[in-house]
Structure 1
Amino acid sequence: MDRPDATFTLAYMVFALCFVFTPNEFRSAGLTVQHMFSEWLGSEDISFIHHHIRRTTLTVLFHCFLPLGYYIGMCFAVQEQNLVYIHHASQGWQIYFGLSLAIQLLSCALAFYWSRRGWANHPICRALNTHALPRSSWRAVASSINTEFRRIDKFASGSTSARVIVTDTWVMKVTTYSLHVALHQDCHLTVTDSKHHSLSPELNTPVQIVTITVASINPAVKPFDIRLKSTEYVELQEKLHAPIRNATNVVIHLTMSELFLETFKSYVRLNEVHRCPSGQELEPCIGCMQVNANVKLVRLCQGDGEGECQQCYCRPMWCLTCMGKWFASRQDQQQPETWLSSRVPCPTCRAKFCILDVCPIP
């Protein structure tokens, strides 16, 4: 890519997307609003509400600056177009500069409006005001939340841009631009959806993400969704005062072994199918005795004499579920990221096999 404008455009687009959605690499490098302005934002542990009031305001300002930042960068990337002198630029660039400058000025005006009357106009403060008692204000609610957030027994889960926090009194969701707040005693939590991922972004382990809708009986509080790993579901239940309804009968896998079993099944279904010899009848699985055996161990992952896997000569005696449970039970429970690539002995003859050697029987 020889054109400097195209190179800069592509690089800036990647940077802007990463700055807005903040992948782990950007967080590790400290390229976040929360890290770069940590001194002005103050400590989240000491003043949780005021920290997020300032954070959301700065985030809006910087995200709105990105279009104007692109124009400023192009002034240096393609100096021959004289973009520094706006009256010399083409009409298209003039329109772009005007729009990006207008966006920036509007964000500054919005930030100034939010800061008036001691930040009382900020959306977070207005949301807290709906929970204030008569003759009280959002500051009393903020003080209560700040106090409870400092306690070590709170529930916290999720990334910086979508964090779930549950204290003794409050259910909160921290997002990039806002903070959702609901009282325990006023809200109903309902499991509405779940998604199973074979591999999580952080670790080489399966993960199930459960979506829970938080709806308050207070009409001024809008419903919001929280998402967390299924393995954190029990911890969340223990922190709440009311049960979580499962209206759609979502199956929640509470342990790593249950999550791994679903991943094990999905990988085995992709393996080569084993055709039994004609006339051979499949007997019930000796593990559960509920269904017929439907998997056969066949060494397919490597050639003869290579690797640790061995050929199993046992006839089909196990179903897919029981084989998956056996595979999970032989793993190091402290290192779930190694489960998919590990090898275990056959439950009958002890010949070592891996997931690639488990062949489904049609």
Structure 2
Amino acid sequence: PAGYYVGMCFAASEKRLYSPGQAPEAWQLFLLLAVTLPTISWTLIYYWSRDRWARHPLARTLALYALPQSGWQAVASSVNTEFRRIDKFATGAPGARVIVTDTWVMKVTTYRVHVAQQQDVHLTVTESQQHDLSPDSNLPVQLLTIRVASTIPAVEAFDIRLNSTEYGELCEKLRAPIRSAAHVVIPPEPGRPVPGDLCLSVEVNPAYSVPSSQ
């Protein structure tokens, strides 16, 4: 924005932008934002980078799980090691990715990373949404919202969403059971067919006629 303002000083010299005190009010406001926002951003980045990034929000969260003789870097190394394994559970869109490893439950969004340790969390299915059609198939899809709340007060709770067909795989990766709110219907165990989906699959399949010779 500041570079754009400087360019407009030459492109629109009649507006006298080179003298902010004589420029139109709209351009004065634009210049103020062009200077203030980068200043705040760089100040925040500088603050986070102090003490080897120990003041960053993610580093502070990881530090809650660090042993007394170690720091948040050791926890980050553990998370990275488990993340590289192929047996992790991963689902969700790129802007709201859900990843569950042997020790950690993570939600990676565009601007934030939520992290919680499995042994310290309570998981509760808080919402279930039924959609008539799935983008990937012509069958109905059920989306579950699961609340991940840590027993550590400083760790902020967060929600994860996934397809009900992935619920069984998630349960296999988790150590703690998932509770359900009273108004939410939990899908059946993995491998057990859902009656509604089974009936719909039967209806869409063509009938098979046995030849008279048999």
TM-score range, shorter chain: 0.7 to 0.9
Residue in 2 that maps onto 1:122 = 56
Q: Over residues 25-54 of structure 1, what are the superposed CA-to-partner deviations in whole Å (9 max), with x where a residue is unaligned?
A: xxxxxxxxxxxxxxxxxxxxxxxxxxxxxx
Distance 2:152 2:119 in 1: 10
**Does 2:105 correspond to 1:171?**
yes
**Matched residue type, 2:78:** S
TM-score w.r.t. structure 1 length?
Answer: 0.49
- After TM superposition, the structure 1 stretch with the greater mean CA deviation from structure 2, 135-144 or 93-102, is 93-102
* Cα drift, residue 86 of structure 1: 6.2
Residue in 2 that maps onto 1:158 = 92
- After TM superposition, the structure 1 stretch with the greater mean CA deviation from structure 2, 217-226 or 122-131, is 217-226
Residue in 2 that maps onto 1:328 = 201
* Cα drift, residue 218 of structure 1: 1.5
What is the SS of the residue equivalent to 2:178? coil
**Matched residue type, 1:157:** T
What is the SS of the residue equivalent to 1:245? strand
Residue in 2 that maps onto 1:340 = none
- Contact map agreement 2:17 2:27 (CA 8 A) in 1: no
- Structure 1 residues 219 and 82, CA, compared in 2 at 3 Å: closer, same or farther? same
- Structure 1 residues 177 and 196, CA, compared in 2 at 3 Å: closer, same or farther? same
* Cα drift, residue 253 of structure 1: 4.5
- Structure 1 residues 91 and 154, CA, compared in 2 at 3 Å: closer, same or farther? same
What is the SS of the residue equivalent to 1:126? helix
- Contact map agreement 2:143 2:163 (CA 8 A) in 1: yes
* Cα drift, residue 258 of structure 1: 4.9
**Matched residue type, 1:184:** Q
**Matched residue type, 1:98:** L
* Cα drift, residue 225 of structure 1: 1.1
Residue in 2 that maps onto 1:103 = 37
Pairing of 1:264-283 with structure 2 (within 5 A): none
Q: Over residues 170-221 of structure 1, what are the superposed CA-to-partner deviations in whole Å (9 max), with x where a residue is unaligned?
A: 1111122221111111111000112223344x53544322111111111221
Distance 1:86 1:235 in 2: 64
Match of 1:203 among 128, 136, 144: 136
* Cα drift, residue 159 of structure 1: 1.6
Distance 2:14 2:111 in 1: 36
Residue in 2 that maps onto 1:235 = 169
Residue in 2 that maps onto 1:135 = 69
Residue in 2 that maps onto 1:223 = 157
- Contact map agreement 1:145 1:170 (CA 8 A) in 2: yes
* Cα drift, residue 75 of structure 1: 4.7
Which structure shows the higher strand fraction? 2
- Over the residues paired in the alignment, what is the CA RMSD in angstroms? 3.3
* Cα drift, residue 240 of structure 1: 0.3
Superposition misfits of 4+ residues, deviation over 6 angstroms:
none
- Structure 1 residues 326 and 245, CA, compared in 2 at 3 Å: closer, same or farther? closer
Distance 1:246 1:94 in 2: 55
**Matched residue type, 1:163:** R
TM-score w.r.t. structure 2 length?
Answer: 0.79
Task: Give the count of matched residue pairs.
Answer: 202
- Contact map agreement 1:81 1:89 (CA 8 A) in 2: no
Distance 2:137 2:128 in 1: 19
Q: Over residues 214-271 of structure 1, what are the superposed CA-to-partner deviations in whole Å (9 max), with x where a residue is unaligned?
A: 111112212111111111111100000111001234124469x859x5xxxxxxxxxx
Which structure has the greater CA radius of gyration?
1
Distance 1:181 1:79 in 2: 50
Pairing of 1:1-362 with structure 2 (within 5 A): 68=1, 75=8, 82=15, 85=18, 87=20, 89-200=23-134, 202-203=135-136, 205=138, 206-253=140-187, 258=194, 261=196, 326-331=199-204
Identical aligned residues as a percent: 51
Distance 2:127 2:144 in 1: 6
